[in-house]
Structure 1
Amino acid sequence: MNDSTPELKPPLWSWRRTTITFFFIVFIFCLKDLGLKFNHLPDGADPWQAAKDFFSAALNPAFTDQNPSLPADAKPFLERIGENMLATLRYAFVAMSMALPAGLILGILCSRSWWPKKLQDSTSSSFKHYLLRLPIVLVYLVSRFFTTLIRSVHELIWVMLFLAFLGDSPLTACIAIALPYAGTLAKVFSEIIDEQDARSSDHLVYSGAGSLQAFFAARLPQSLPDLLTYTMYRLECAIRSSAVLGFIGIETIGLTIKQSYENNYYNEVWTGLYSLILVVMAFDILGAHIRKRLHTAPHALLNPDPNNIRALKRHTPRWPFMRLTWTALLFTSVAAWFIGEPLNQYHSHLSRWERTKTFAEGLLPKPVRESHAWSDAIPWAENLWTTNGAEALLSTVIMASAALLLAAIFGYAFVPWASRNIASAKPFGLPSGHTSKVLTRLWSFLGWVVRTLFLIARSIPEFILAFLLIGIIGPHAWPLVIALAIHNFGILGRLWSETHENQDDLVAKQQILSGGSRNQSYLCALLPASFNRQILFIFYRWETCVRESTILGLLSITSLGYYISLESSFLRYDSMLFYILLGTAVIFISDIISVILRAKLKNS
């Protein structure tokens, strides 16, 4: 009797193959639209010489002013760099001190974990159940809509809006950073809270506690480590956003870089870039230590009587480093409001009320202001759409998509060598051939080099990278695409390598123990297991890339940001709002698409 097991064949088509095919088609379409001509400099300009002059200065950063015409009593160069770097940190801390409380409150409202158990059931057809559920669902939907709206607009566009009616004070810029950051924090906080294990809060509810009591006593404390680590990451992002404020005239390190580059003082540029990179790296390392501490269970040295509460509290292990860190961060956030020049400086002969009134009136479409009939806004909007809107929107989406897919391609090539469980003399902790101290150190050095490359790539804001690249290869779309790709290469590299390190590696270990190589265990076991998570990160970053490619239009490249800046300079606030809403609509649509595809990928 022959028992024959039917051969299992994978399906011809799946969501994974559909997703990869879709990405490939989009990438080809983007390359066709962008073209492959990278040099758009005037005749006679030599991009290779410009690149050589700029990058050779990296080996010799300036410690004194390169400008020979400065007066003798001018502030020393390094002192100005230090002051601008401190201003960058100050504005970042002020912005985060506003964004964090708002993001936490909105994040709780956007979460379903605090809902009463009986109201979480959406399948009941009872009219009474529907009436009880309606108010809480409305709060949830309004909160979700509001957070999506405020994070859909880039912080630099918020700055342009706020400067128009609040004035050119540093506080205005800080509020503009805080607003989209509050929306981003709210979205991520709500997802972190909802993804926690519900057994502890359910146990309290079944024991007689109310839903809010269970939420604040169990679910929220359970989420705290992840909330704190993500807050540290957003603080790092706020430092980069604060640096970019220099490109619109706020005195941060970005202003120093911009002025030095425009005057061809490349050595000064590199000094500013190095200072920014070092500060971002310092906060990245601090965040890594905090993540490690928060996700490591402390071990008590003594075993007191478990029934003695006082003894348990007395012998509970404590980490002075954590207390010192959070105390220093809290003190810095408070001090940033009061130490230094006043944040709320105002330099206009018009009152803020007059500016706000003029701005609000200007937001109405011009035909509506003249005729007081909203029907006249339709041909006005159609004209903006057909004249510039459609082309600018398509250009924005193409640049964002090309940059992200380019970053993903290079990310897949470099990520294995940044993952500590792969880039090791003993992959997954198992012996693989001959090992020695030299080989072990070489593997460790390789992993450190790639991880440092990721860190440097994401330390420099894409706006600054694009500004520098335009000066080298000319004003066109490719500098923006390359800048976005470099920055997202660093971010995807970090996220994907951490995904590999946290992934269950049992199948990969079996590959090694069965005689497979390092590459085989990665390609046949670890990569397929991590694929869905990596695709989720691509969708997460695409939304951000659309926002960033919008704002890169401020560098005079045709995108939505270019027309937003143009209309703002002519005080045509109605047209400016139209282009802002176009970008917001794309973010809303991309958010819906990413939610649907994430669900499909998770179930595949």
Structure 2
Amino acid sequence: MQAKFAPVFGLLLPALVFLPLLAFLPFEIHGGGWGLIANFFGAALRPSLTPSLLASACSGIAITLAVALWSWLLSLVIGIGAGLLSAPTVSEAFWGCRWPADLLRRLLALPRSLHELLWGLILLQGLGLQPVVAVVAIAIPYGALVARVVSDQLESLPQAPFQALRVAGAPSPAALLTGLGPSLLPGVLSYGGYRLECALRSATLLGVFGLGGVGADLRLSLQSLQFHEAWTSLWALALVMFLLEQGIALLRRRWWQPGAVVGQRGRELLLLFVVLLLLLFPAAQLLDLQWQVLLGPWHWPMDQQIFQWQAWWLPWPQLVSSTLLLTVIAALAAFAAAPLLLLLFSPWALMQPLLRGLGLIARLLPPPLTALLLLFVLKPGLLPAALALAFHNAGILGRLFLEGLEAQDPRPEQALLAAGVSSRKALLMARFNGLAAGYLAYGAYRADVILRETVVVGLVGAGGLGGVLLEALSSFAWADVLPVL
């Protein structure tokens, strides 16, 4: 019995991080901004509906969607190609050895280790303010992430069909496509849909830092305290995110449910692919994409100051420890938020609408904007940065957790309730226990994402490597950028 409960304890132990957060919170609060916080959330009920602002919000949403669409499709092309080439199975089939795939896998770790915001700021220095910068900045790390997932999924598939075709004399490309392609497709499509949601959030985030779209409108509205205007853009973005999530969920249920017609699924998939390709043309015209700038002269600073050795003498222990502390606090709080709320406010089925609404708001607000709101009531430092990252990622993890609970078999919980067990214990022993292992694995992956996201909250004085990097990039201090990277 003890071994059975161990995964459940793994879900609940991270909630201990809220104890030190609650202990330090009273010392970090200052008394001037509660009215602004109330005005911000009160403005959600009364967004501005002036025609000019609505037109501006629609224009910003269209630009953000265009950036997300182009960067998403480009990342899939890069990721699927690089994922196949970095799979040892493919490498052995084509070249008879594994080392090319192993080398490529290690090289792909470099682009995905940098947040898309960093890629955007770096490309911005070299290419100037170009729409193609936002597209490429998202496509590079996302392509590397997709490549890792494709490679891992390809290696986890049963290899017997592929090996049988190879023994029968089939060429390597045909054997891969026939033997492994059908089994690989569901995972690629499911993960590809998730990356589209991520691309929309990343495009909004890059807009916050000056690369256009709805994110730029949001930051200007918040900085000028025009909360009614900010909520006009936020509600428009929320509608787009909701429709996107529901559309992806509908396609996933329709295509991968038991008994789905393979031929019909293939025709619908081909139709969707054609529609997406057709949407690329108006999206490119809207953004005025000029791909030739990638081949033109890059304006890098070529003076000798870039090689100053004194720039490498930074307080590395303090910077690294601050970054890791921020990551651990935010990751634990984000991981534990949904399970803790469901246990405190049971029955969980009645809490679902509220949690889904909170999760949508959490995913809607980029961490920098949440951090700016927290500065109305908290002192600059690590705490507002950690809370902003935790809030945003709790929305993402909470959605996954609720979907996992709904997918659990309800009969064990019903049997425990019929036996007189309380609703909280039944939820913990039946549904939480069955979900724990998968949720723990995804939480570990999300911690890696939060580590990269620490750079986006450097503007609130959180310290760490992200703050140094943002300051160096904004002041063109390339001698300080290189050692941090």
Shift of 1:340: 4.9
1:492 aligns with 2:397: yes
CA separation in 2, counterparts of 1:473 and 1:329? 44
Query: In 2 relative to 1, CA 109–318 (structure 1 residues): closer, same or farther, beyond 3 Å?
Result: closer
CA separation in 1, counterparts of 2:437 and 2:127? 45
Q: Is the 8 A contact 2:8 2:428 kept in 1?
A: no
Counterpart in 1 of 2:274?
A: 327
Following superposition of structure 1 onto structure 2, how do residues 31-50 of structure 1 map, counting pairs within 5 Å? 31=21, 35-37=24-26, 39=28, 41=30, 46-50=32-36
Secondary structure at 1:402 match in 2: helix
Shift of 1:569: 3.1
Secondary structure at 1:62 match in 2: coil
1:464 aligns with 2:369: yes
**Aligned with residue 105 of structure 1, among 51, 56, 81:** 81
Q: Is the 8 A contact 1:415 1:496 kept in 2?
A: no
Structure 2's unaligned 5+ residue stretches are: none
Shift of 1:575: 1.3
**Aligned with residue 395 of structure 1, among 322, 325, 340:** 322
User: What per-residue deviation string (whole Å, max 9, x for no partner) do you get for residues 41-83 of structure 1?
Assistant: 4xxx522212122221111101128xxxxxxxxxx22111111
Pair member with larger Rg: 1
CA separation in 2, counterparts of 1:578 and 1:407? 30
CA separation in 2, counterparts of 1:20 and 1:521? 15
Q: Is the 8 A contact 1:57 1:270 kept in 2?
A: yes
Query: In 2 relative to 1, CA 342–99 (structure 1 residues): closer, same or farther, beyond 3 Å?
Result: closer
**Greater fraction of residues in helix:** 2
Counterpart in 2 of 1:282?
A: 243
Counterpart in 1 of 2:308?
A: 366
**Aligned with residue 288 of structure 2, among 336, 341, 349:** 341
Query: In 2 relative to 1, CA 512–191 (structure 1 residues): closer, same or farther, beyond 3 Å?
Result: farther
Shift of 1:103: 0.6
CA separation in 2, counterparts of 1:334 and 1:498? 35
Normalised by the length of structure 2, the TM-score is 0.87
Q: Is the 8 A contact 1:508 1:525 kept in 2?
A: yes
Counterpart in 2 of 1:57?
A: 43
Following superposition of structure 1 onto structure 2, how do residues 502-581 of structure 1 map, counting pairs within 5 Å? 502-503=407-408, 511=416, 516=421, 518-580=423-485
CA separation in 2, counterparts of 1:418 and 1:232? 32
Query: In 2 relative to 1, CA 321–466 (structure 1 residues): closer, same or farther, beyond 3 Å?
Result: farther
Secondary structure at 1:353 match in 2: coil
User: What per-residue deviation string (whole Å, max 9, x for no partner) do you get for residues 249-269 of structure 1?
Assistant: 222111111111111111001
Following superposition of structure 1 onto structure 2, how do residues 18-37 of structure 1 map, counting pairs within 5 Å? 23=14, 27=17, 31=21, 35-37=24-26
Query: In 2 relative to 1, CA 273–211 (structure 1 residues): closer, same or farther, beyond 3 Å?
Result: same
1:186 aligns with 2:147: yes
Query: In 2 relative to 1, CA 195–504 (structure 1 residues): closer, same or farther, beyond 3 Å?
Result: farther
Secondary structure at 1:114 match in 2: helix
Query: In 2 relative to 1, CA 500–256 (structure 1 residues): closer, same or farther, beyond 3 Å?
Result: same
Shift of 1:449: 3.9
CA RMSD of aligned residues (A): 3.6
Query: In 2 relative to 1, CA 390–551 (structure 1 residues): closer, same or farther, beyond 3 Å?
Result: farther
CA separation in 2, counterparts of 1:29 and 1:578? 36
Aligned amino acid, residue 213 of structure 1: A
Q: Is the 8 A contact 1:30 1:399 kept in 2?
A: no
Following superposition of structure 1 onto structure 2, how do residues 108-507 of structure 1 map, counting pairs within 5 Å? 108-114=84-90, 116=92, 136-298=97-259, 316-317=263-264, 322=269, 324-343=271-290, 353=297, 355-356=299-300, 358=301, 364-367=306-309, 381=312, 383-384=313-314, 386=315, 389-414=316-341, 446-503=351-408
CA separation in 2, counterparts of 1:322 and 1:21? 40
Normalised by the length of structure 1, the TM-score is 0.71
Shift of 1:459: 3.0
Shift of 1:352: 5.5
Q: Is the 8 A contact 1:116 1:211 kept in 2?
A: no
Counterpart in 2 of 1:82?
A: 58
Q: Is the 8 A contact 1:244 1:464 kept in 2?
A: no
Secondary structure at 1:267 match in 2: helix
Shift of 1:227: 0.8
CA separation in 2, counterparts of 1:539 and 1:180? 19
CA separation in 2, counterparts of 1:513 and 1:254? 50
Query: In 2 relative to 1, CA 205–448 (structure 1 residues): closer, same or farther, beyond 3 Å?
Result: farther
User: What per-residue deviation string (whole Å, max 9, x for no partner) do you get for residues 172-196 of structure 1?
Assistant: 2211111111111112222233333
Aligned amino acid, residue 353 of structure 1: P
Aligned amino acid, residue 106 of structure 1: A
User: What per-residue deviation string (whole Å, max 9, x for no partner) do you get for residues 293-349 of structure 1?
Assistant: 22124566xxxxxxxxxxxx9xx5468765554332222134322345344698xxx
Shift of 1:24: 7.2
CA separation in 2, counterparts of 1:552 and 1:53? 23
CA separation in 1, counterparts of 2:137 and 2:184? 28
CA separation in 1, counterparts of 2:20 and 2:483? 25
Secondary structure at 1:180 match in 2: helix
Query: In 2 relative to 1, CA 181–515 (structure 1 residues): closer, same or farther, beyond 3 Å?
Result: same
Aligned amino acid, residue 308 of structure 2: K
Q: Is the 8 A contact 2:15 2:333 kept in 1?
A: no
Shift of 1:506: 7.0
Q: Is the 8 A contact 1:110 1:143 kept in 2?
A: yes
CA separation in 1, counterparts of 2:329 and 2:63? 34
Moved more, 94-103 or 406-415: 406-415
Counterpart in 1 of 2:70?
A: 94
Query: In 2 relative to 1, CA 24–515 (structure 1 residues): closer, same or farther, beyond 3 Å?
Result: closer
Aligned amino acid, residue 473 of structure 1: L
Secondary structure at 1:400 match in 2: helix
Q: Is the 8 A contact 1:229 1:290 kept in 2?
A: no
Shift of 1:243: 1.3
Secondary structure at 2:211 match in 1: coil
CA separation in 1, counterparts of 2:42 and 2:366? 21
CA separation in 2, counterparts of 1:416 and 1:14? 16
Query: In 2 relative to 1, CA 202–268 (structure 1 residues): closer, same or farther, beyond 3 Å?
Result: same
Aligned amino acid, residue 75 of structure 2: A
Greater relative contact order structure (CA < 8 Å, 6+ sep): 2
Q: Is the 8 A contact 1:277 1:460 kept in 2?
A: no
CA separation in 2, counterparts of 1:549 and 1:299? 42
Aligned amino acid, residue 297 of structure 2: W
